[in-house]
Structure 1
């Protein structure tokens, strides 16, 4: 929006000497653009004035369509390079404009862009560099101190600096030739040949000036360039976009734009006019940079991803944070528009695409955001959404206690999970801002997967947890399976399948809200977050996994009921396993083999001759005992490597495929039933489960000595002097020495500098895949028979490891955090017994703390999402004084039961006896 004392980028484009140059270029170019057509029919799609910047009126559109029909003009289709909108335009027009993002494109190849000043020989551009900028700045400082200057008055001097920046940043060709590391070099796969240090110093020098006008001129020029992007889409001509990506004002345009208090003034309202103008233009630049970057061809995206992978970690993280902040901003915009549309009589203003896509969109609404007063609402939004957002797009306060305090409610009140759902699918599925930002962020994620620069959690955007992730998953799953289903319908030509489609559409349309305009068919949403799972936090992914598991459990229960009604037989809605402790492996294998089709049912465990109803504790006990026996070295199913202490499939000729199938099924059941296991498996196993390629680093994690030797081999020269051949020698589980050739006649093929990479690759494949193929296939079959589904594909190997084995928490447990998540029944937080317990817990070494954790929860590990997601409860056994019962626990509910002890010494003695001398569900 225009500010007093300043002009918008569009107005600046047609002011002063620059306007004369533009009009001169347009007049010279218009002679080449079908003059006969222009004389007969007047302006069709582009005029020399600013008609390409303003939408056509209805009369103009009708007249345009009528003239085009009379001339029998052919139409072409294309895709907007910024927002991805499909464009349909006459074949004989020189310029078109996307009506969604307002980006203009030149159609005729022989027409140059009117904004590229480099094409005009009458204008000579100085070198765009830090030294050139410093000359302007130094002359300006001399002007202020002496009253003199090379360019005369202060206004002329400032005008020259602004013109220099405006002209330079209006030209993509000028930018492509600027800030090079080596003047003679070009972009390569390994380097963009961009001097980031000089570029950052250039921007810092501009920001240090006492006036913002030069920076505003630069931003206006960049905005015009992005509104009229060049046609070239080549690796050597996209450096200009990297230069604009480093603008320091991009992130600032998104900070402080969310209301923390609807009654208070936002930080944007407090900005001065130049600051507000900088924020507005910077937001426009940022969204166009993201949009254009998201629509590069495959080669350019590969180069971009590889360039970013070589950035310093600080710059790499900074860009991830900006993109996450942009996604957070767009989601917040969707939330605020939904609130406004649900609390106002007329919501027509926010539907205007020209009014909504702006950093100042809240002023456009002209409304106070009155949030609903109930916990839930018809549009799926909750009053309890805390929009306190940091630079990385993460919440600074999201706890129930903080939210309750803000709303003036009781701290002990917990929110129902059903009311935590905030945003429905139809409110964001067509947002091109989210789609383009997620696409660009996926390039950073791929770069990180290859080079392992930062933890995967850096990519999480916790505001995504405030959408209906279950609905998002169902929609994504519907779109993913729809093409396959349509092929089956066409192949079988079955009328019953068409009827099933109709019934499914009727049931899903109300839930997914993705009905086409005619209401007859379901439409595929253009964007779902499940297409970009790296944005979804591990907690939300676990929610999706449990949602899919629950749906399958319910389906299996319905099938069992229908089967029992048809056959008039009793049915069981649970998958029950009845075992003896001394024969736990044999009994478990028998039960799993006899009930292969019941894996999707809810699991219930029964120990023979032991009382107890499985509310979760018996299940934890079964998993613990069974995995302890299956992974015992004496079983010879898995071999342990030193010094990593990780285990992998044993090298053996004995056929144990049934036991490996059991191991895979047990791991799948643990994930399916949200149970943490105490296992020490390498990263390579999880990668192979998900079909990812294993690397030398994965092998080194398992066998550190061999892995380090292979890495040294790749760094050496004259490798043939080591006399290594394409064969390996190893010992099987029985201790017998075996020699194997990695290639045909490998014992006679010497490893040299040329084939050493092939040798390492074959070495890895042999020990991680080939030698254990049958055993891994059985293991994988058992695993996928339980958890095979689309939800598992959302996880990375690291995340699968986390949900399977939890957080190992090698150090001491944070006592203050434990106290904050603990609930009490029969006790108060300041009772003496509770004080004794926390004093005892805090004084224990980490090993004893884990024993206490195991005594209460049934596992030594914390949940995958960390200590805050642990449910911990302390209850009173008896209110009688002098009661000296030993502490007990309900592992089903993570509940510790204590009595009223006479002294702290007695309490400590009882706790030590309890945690050191119990197993199962009665003391030994």
Structure 2
């Protein structure tokens, strides 16, 4: 594995065959390692997280960490140091041997499984997975959308993206999306902003108007969308949309569409959302699928425009969004949506008596506006659960609740999502990382020092101005809810970008507004340019009172 000691590329490792002849240069160590990693891969299939963490099966956790280090070095050597990309590009892959390729494949499978488990409950410190500076130079060399997307085909992104730091993968995703958006929509900076699709929205009918105007756009959802708000009294609100009105509309639309009271989603005990299995009984089958496709497009457009939105999704649903839902962690996923059923299945799994005494059959009860019984296998009601088949029963019950009952809704959602965001772009991330991409940091708290360090000042303000100093003192004293309201007032988004305020474009800006008396003006905002227009109030107390009044008024662009 050490490139300084072993000159043979990992893909070219070979084994000694049964007749004593070598396939290339025989390597007994590689054969043993392949056997060990293959056995570990198969063992992990039937090992749940409780066994891995609490019972330390199949290996003690310190040995698991040693395996992670070993396999990380192997994969890094195979995909980065052995020049796989150039060998394939030049058509000279003839030096590869079955053992070496199998070792790379099964090592990647084990590492992806362990990385996924570690994302739920840490197996090791995050930096243990990372190879520093990986892809940094490659990203810097890229100039166009095609250049950035070509990196997705690199061996490290296809086989082991976890070797690349999360921040660098976020940067790559952001550059892929931004360059594609500029190609399609134009930009203010290049003075070639395109007209886009005009949409009129009444404030009291955000969801209904959004569904009417936008649900049939399909791939055209990537185009620029310009919003004109109609007030409750029927007048067009002031404000020209160069991005801010759209962000406000999309944030409002997301909040309404993902509201659990709309019966499209259910929430876990931890307030994480997943598709409601009964949604088709509430909205009708065809309408339910149409709504889920629309919600997928809403999320896709938010990711495409760099808008962070509120919904926090359950791990099992995020797996569907990535396009490669894993059936290896069904029990762990079940524990997040139905802890009582999970505990019952775990009791059965570890039950040392005769499972037949529990009088179970291969059926499951669904509570969709009335309890109905469904067979898990053909004639399941006539097949009793025994010690010999209880593992199959446990798997099928978990699969029914975690996958089968929400698969139709999840498929409709991802159809809409993938019309806007290519599936390959999302495979850079595991489930918790994808959630950060959607809604920023999980706690939603605003890093005030980061916000302050990356802010601009115009109109006569500077970082040392006493009014600016008072402003940051007030923001630091705000509750998290007030800080989120302030951010939404200025930017239309109440969560900061996943990469922090340094990636906000345009940057958070404070503009000076001169006044004679404190009652002359309230703070106002230009959300298209992320600009807060802050009057020169006489004291910190007045500034705080007026700022809170402005951000809590929710009066749209008609506030003066």
Matched-pair contact (CA < 8 Å) for 1:470–1:544? no
- Which among 293, 298, 302 is matched to residue 38 of structure 2? 302
1:34-93: per-residue Cα shift (whole Å, max 9, x none)? Answer: xxxxxxxxxxxxxxxxxxxxxxxxxxxxxxxxxxxxxxxxxxxxxx98225879xxxxxx
CA distance in 2, matches of 1:753, 1:326: 40
Matched-pair contact (CA < 8 Å) for 1:644–1:704? no
- Which among 874, 877, 894 is matched to residue 512 of structure 2? 877
* CA-atom RMSD in angstroms: 4.6
Tell me how far 1:678 sits from its aligned partner.
Answer: 0.6
User: Per the alignment, do residues 912 and 83 of structure 1 end up closer, same or farther by CA in structure 2, a change over 3 Å counting?
Assistant: same
Matched-pair contact (CA < 8 Å) for 2:518–2:542? no
1:545 aligns with 2:173: yes
Look up the SS of the partner of 2:245 in the other structure: helix
Partner of 1:905: 541
User: Per the alignment, do residues 713 and 644 of structure 1 end up closer, same or farther by CA in structure 2, a change over 3 Å counting?
Assistant: farther
Normalising by structure 2, what TM-score? 0.74
1:726 aligns with 2:359: no
- Which among 206, 215, 219 is matched to residue 584 of structure 1? 206
Partner of 1:596: 218
Normalising by structure 1, what TM-score? 0.47
Tell me how far 1:700 sits from its aligned partner.
Answer: 1.5
Partner of 1:492: none
User: Per the alignment, do residues 761 and 456 of structure 1 end up closer, same or farther by CA in structure 2, a change over 3 Å counting?
Assistant: farther
Look up the SS of the partner of 2:508 in the other structure: strand
Partner of 2:264: 637
CA distance in 2, matches of 1:833, 1:737: 63
CA distance in 1, matches of 2:472, 2:9: 56
Look up the SS of the partner of 1:464 in the other structure: coil
Matched-pair contact (CA < 8 Å) for 1:456–1:534? no
CA distance in 1, matches of 2:176, 2:545: 45
Matched-pair contact (CA < 8 Å) for 2:461–2:512? no
Tell me how far 1:449 sits from its aligned partner.
Answer: 3.2
Look up the SS of the partner of 1:615 in the other structure: coil
Look up the SS of the partner of 2:532 in the other structure: strand
Matched-pair contact (CA < 8 Å) for 1:639–1:647? yes
CA distance in 2, matches of 1:843, 1:479: 44
The runs of 5 or more residues in structure 2 that have no matched partner are: 45-56, 94-99, 187-192, 231-235
Partner of 2:190: none
User: Per the alignment, do residues 796 and 824 of structure 1 end up closer, same or farther by CA in structure 2, a change over 3 Å counting?
Assistant: same
Partner of 2:316: 684
- Which among 110, 134, 138 is matched to residue 464 of structure 1? 134
Partner of 1:293: none
1:615 aligns with 2:248: no
Partner of 1:706: 341
CA distance in 2, matches of 1:106, 1:751: 46
- Which among 164, 167, 173 is matched to residue 536 of structure 1? 164
CA distance in 1, matches of 2:504, 2:124: 26
User: Per the alignment, do residues 824 and 786 of structure 1 end up closer, same or farther by CA in structure 2, a change over 3 Å counting?
Assistant: same
- Which among 298, 313, 328 is matched to residue 666 of structure 1? 298
Higher relative contact order at CA 8 Å, sep ≥6: structure 1 or structure 2? 2
Partner of 2:53: none
Structure-to-structure mapping, 1:318-397, within 5 angstroms: 320=69
Structure-to-structure mapping, 1:731-750, within 5 angstroms: 731-732=367-368, 735-750=369-384
Tell me how far 1:806 sits from its aligned partner.
Answer: 1.6
User: Per the alignment, do residues 921 and 311 of structure 1 end up closer, same or farther by CA in structure 2, a change over 3 Å counting?
Assistant: farther
CA distance in 2, matches of 1:770, 1:555: 39
Partner of 2:414: 780
User: Per the alignment, do residues 830 and 476 of structure 1 end up closer, same or farther by CA in structure 2, a change over 3 Å counting?
Assistant: closer
User: Per the alignment, do residues 728 and 867 of structure 1 end up closer, same or farther by CA in structure 2, a change over 3 Å counting?
Assistant: farther
Look up the SS of the partner of 1:892 in the other structure: helix
Matched-pair contact (CA < 8 Å) for 1:575–1:601? yes
Tell me how far 1:662 sits from its aligned partner.
Answer: 0.7
- Which among 839, 849, 855 is matched to residue 483 of structure 2? 849
Tell me how far 1:907 sits from its aligned partner.
Answer: 1.1
CA distance in 1, matches of 2:399, 2:206: 34
